[in-house]
Structure 1
């Protein structure tokens, strides 16, 4: 989804809660909803940031969202400044990263958050109850004990936990959540029974599929945090998809035969030229092109 749609939905969520919201405001909001079906979907998700029964919080008495100073100091853009009107939520925080970026933000109360490249996390406005929302990307989250529980909305379910360490990512058709320490409970959007997993366990929720639980290599899973990626007999098509996330220069598979080739090893994210050279040594392929690197079978 586009950042502009998210920002507009955030502004409308705040505006409709303002004490001086007018009938004209409501008419313009209805017109915006009718412009595209996606507007309704994004607005419904954004409204959950304010309207749910819990919040992403880490202190006993103060609501937790990164302060404006904290966000700017960390280099993470504040993408949704809302209407600062009496009686309305002041702002929602949209923490996001661009291609090739990783950003760390220490939230009040000691929670440590790391956003991977091309990620977006939306936190409720200060003082407003609501769940956080992860519409895309991947995060590493460390929650200290003693605070309000995590409640994180994703495209295929809501994740909750009182404390722990987690690696959470949005897939093209679902979400993956791994517990490094503590416990995590998932409430699938399908309405299926809640699922609780513990340390060393990964849960994958995909649209239209049964939940998948496994025990991945944790060192491989968290390699992205230090700018690396690990492949173990991975189809080249999947490896290219992962590497492309970290670089403005893209690689392209020229045929299903090339995409089915397998690759293993540890590689540095963002170093597309080095990865391309490695492919020519490890696989029967050559590289063509400059801006977009095309992988052609020999």
Structure 2
């Protein structure tokens, strides 16, 4: 759940977006906005996020607005993001609440930690969000953007469903299904049923098709690969389980972190590279973590909300 500070920043960012869109927005308002942006990087990040939500919902396209040079704070070393600079360039940029006939609101879907969230897409089938995942859904229900986490999509409409994840658009036709996962170090798109179209950019020349059972992976450095993962293990999260088969402990812990409120630290590369086989049940919570020293040559040290694993 967002903290009180995060909620307050979101509210203030929404007010700024609306103010910058107002007809009577003046230079004094814009100067105050710049000062607010530079006070805390959280302010800028939240403003950028709300701007993304509006773009997804059909707001004013930022490409049509000339950019202004980024400004840097002498005290905080903070530079304005592209969209933040655009906000300063025009008072008619983006509004959180639609103020024109063509604008449409979007819907933010958030699964809480330790729980999945199943959503019926009006006339388009269903989606299942994994623990801690967030997705923004357009008002018409046939476009979405995965902000982070994992989602299973199974559209049933004659019209295509489009999911944006980083710089790729996943197009799902009727009676297809895909599992899409977005992590810090990579993005995975797995076709579970039918042929799935992946598009990077705006031209068909960069289209890629993947078939049932294929996984398209984009690494953090931009490298791409296609493989055939174990589908049972891949989809085990739907039933509250994580299946590990000779999995590096670093990868296993990365999975478990999505379901735990604990901070989990692996103290050395030796620990990170240990191999783990077993089944993690989300409902068991910390029990699995406390059992790791019995399965591997490890010690567990608890410091408040932190679990630290060290090699013996």
TM range (shorter): 0.7 to 0.9
Task: Give the structure-2-normalised TM-score.
Answer: 0.71
Q: CA deviation at 1:250?
A: 3.2
2:260 is paired with a residue whose SS is coil
Aligned to 1:151: 162
Q: Against the structure 1 CA distance between its residues 105 and 50, is the aligned structure 2 distance closer, same or farther, given a 3 Å change threshold?
A: closer
Selected match of 1:194 from 183, 204, 207 = 207
2:206 is paired with a residue whose SS is coil
Aligned to 2:288: 275
Say which structure is richer in helix.
Answer: 2
Aligned to 1:284: 297
| Greater RCO, 1 or 2 (C-alpha within 8 Å, sep 6+) | 1
1:115 equivalenced with 2:126 (yes/no): no
What are the within-5 Å matches in structure 2 for residues 159-198 of structure 1? 159-163=170-174, 164-188=176-200, 193-198=206-211
1:200 is paired with a residue whose SS is coil
Q: CA deviation at 1:173?
A: 3.4
C-alpha deviations, 1:70-89, integer Å up to 9, x for none?
xxxxxxxxxxx953656364
Aligned to 1:46: 53
Task: Supply the distance in 1 between the matched residues of 2:29 and 2:134 (Cα, whole angstroms).
Answer: 27
Give the CA RMSD over aligned residues.
3.5
Aligned to 2:72: none
Q: CA deviation at 1:288?
A: 1.8
Selected match of 1:124 from 114, 138, 159 = 138
C-alpha deviations, 1:36-92, integer Å up to 9, x for none?
66467546643541349xxxxxxxxxxxxxxxxxxxxxxxxxxxx953656364632
Q: Against the structure 1 CA distance between its residues 293 and 123, is the aligned structure 2 distance closer, same or farther, given a 3 Å change threshold?
A: same
Q: CA deviation at 1:272?
A: 3.8
Q: CA deviation at 1:119?
A: 0.8
Instruction: Mark the runs of 5 or more structure 2 residues left unpaired by the alignment.
Output: 60-94
Aligned to 2:112: 98
Task: Supply the distance in 2 between the matched residues of 1:140 and 1:47 (Cα, whole angstroms).
Answer: 24
What are the within-5 Å matches in structure 2 for residues 211-290 of structure 1? 211-269=224-282, 271-289=284-302
Instruction: Mark the runs of 5 or more structure 1 residues left unpaired by the alignment.
Output: 53-80
Task: Supply the distance in 1 between the matched residues of 2:283 and 2:194 (Cα, whole angstroms).
Answer: 32
Q: CA deviation at 1:117?
A: 0.7
1:219 is paired with a residue whose SS is helix
Task: Give the structure-1-normalised TM-score.
Answer: 0.74
> What count of residue pairs does the alignment treat as equivalent?
263
Task: Supply the distance in 1 between the matched residues of 2:104 and 2:139 (Cα, whole angstroms).
Answer: 6
Which has the greater radius of gyration? 2
Aligned to 2:151: 139
